[in-house]
Amino acid sequence: KAGVTQTPRYLIKTRGQQVTLSCSPISGHRSVSWYQQTPGQGLQFLFEYFSETQRNKGNFPGRFSGRQFSNSRSEMNVSTLELGDSALYLCASSPGQGHSGNTIYFGEGSWLTVV
Amino acid sequence: QQPVQSPQAVILREGEDAVINCSSSKALYSVHWYRQKHGEAPVFLMILLKGGEQKGHDKISASFNEKKQQSSLYLTASQLSYSGTYFCGTEGDDYKLSFGAGTTVTVRA
């Protein structure tokens, strides 16, 4: 079965612009999480959606937002981009939400460069 | 809160063993281990649950000390394919899966 698909894979934006990243989870998975990965910082949790509801949120400013659609596909949006937002954004899907003991599966990520 | 991983990096020769440690300051429900190779997505290795259940890779072993909120991943008889960055993810009562900064493993022939 197809894995987690993220689009676009690479993009370059200018400071002040906004960006929308898309994630299609594995078929049947209802939970989608987003992570920001930068060198030395590891994977920083952004938010988790389950059945179209945000279940959990990390410590990121309000410029970072997301949503999930009825087909479990998810988007994340970053407004007023800053140079420090340059990172690999990873989406992960899971059959269930937290405390379920389910494995999460990562997509290959979207590389965002802000200039 | 991010778990703390140690060491930050380790270099091994093929066939050698290594241990990667992960500790958290909060009570844990589960610990997840992933390996990421450069330019690729993190790949699931193992999940350890409170109560002792484990699911994962049959060639990699790990332990979970619930009382100490610590987990260790054991790389035994390492192979070249074991090279990559290993991340532990911890899930507490807040339902968030938080990852450590990673341990870079280099296995040389």
Which residues 47-106 of chain A have a CB within 8 Å of chain B? 48, 55-56, 58, 90, 97-99, 101, 103-106
Q: Compute the distance between CA of residue B7 and CA of residue B68 in angstroms, rounded to an integer.
A: 18
What is the model's pLDDT at position B60? 82
Asked if the Cβ–Cβ distance from B32 to A104 is below 8 Å, we say yes
What is the model's pLDDT at position B81? 93
Contact criterion met (CB below 8 Å) for B42 and A106: yes
DSSP letter at A70?
A: T
- Residues of chain A with C-beta less than 8 angstroms from the C-beta of B29: 98-99
DSSP B5-45: EE-SEEEEETT--EEEEEE-SS-EEEEEEEEE-TTS--EEE
pLDDT tens per residue, chain A (115 residues)?
679 999 999 999 999 999 999 999 999 999 999 999 998 778 999 999 999 999 989 999 999 999 999 999 999 999 999 999 999 999 999 987 766 677 889 999 999 999 9
Contact criterion met (CB below 8 Å) for B83 and B106: yes
Q: Which of B47, B87, B96 sits opposite A101 (nearest CB)?
A: B47
What is the model's pLDDT at position B58? 67
**pLDDT tens-digit readout, B24-81:** 998 888 999 999 998 888 999 999 988 877 777 767 899 999 999 999 999 999 999 9
In this structure, what are the phi and psi dihedrals at residue A58, rounded to the nearest 5 degrees?
-90, -170
- Residues of chain B with C-beta less than 8 angstroms from the C-beta of A41: 101
* Res. B109: pLDDT tops 80: yes
User: Nearest Cα to B79, choosing from B13, B31, B21?
Assistant: B13
